[in-house]
Amino acid sequence: MIKVIQGTFRQIPYWKLRGRFHSCGYRDQEVAKYIGIGRDTMSGRMQGHNPWTSAEITAMCELLDIRQDEIGELFFPSLEKGESA
């Protein structure tokens, strides 16, 4: 597990997912529109206040070419390997 340093990008719950947005050339708002949610809903999801729905995850996987084996790491970052939800 990566050590989180106070005041860094890695403190953001979905920092890897946000990095994927950017590496694919998308901003949060563009992804939100594609998956059919509003900017406030997207913000709540990215801050870890509300869980992602399966439909949102599916749409993002299609848009961002996320493989099935990457879903856990990107959408469930607080779970350690081997842990169940």
Rounded CA-CA distance 24/17 in Å is: 11
Q: Tell which wins on pLDDT, 20 or 9.
A: 20
- The pLDDT assigned to 77 comes to 75
pLDDT at 26: 96
Q: Which two tokens stand for residue 16?
A: 């890897």
HSE-up of residue 84 (Cα within 13 Å, Cβ side): 0
Residue 63 has pLDDT above 80, yes or no: yes
Q: What are the structural domain ranges in the chain?
A: 13-75
CATH for the 13-75 domain, from 1.10.10.10, 1.10.260.40, 1.10.3720.10, 3.90.1150.10: 1.10.260.40
Residue 80 has pLDDT above 70, yes or no: no
User: Could you report the per-residue pLDDT of 29-58, keeping only the tens digit for each?
Assistant: 999 999 999 999 999 999 889 999 999 999
- The larger pLDDT score, comparing residue 5 to residue 21, is at 21
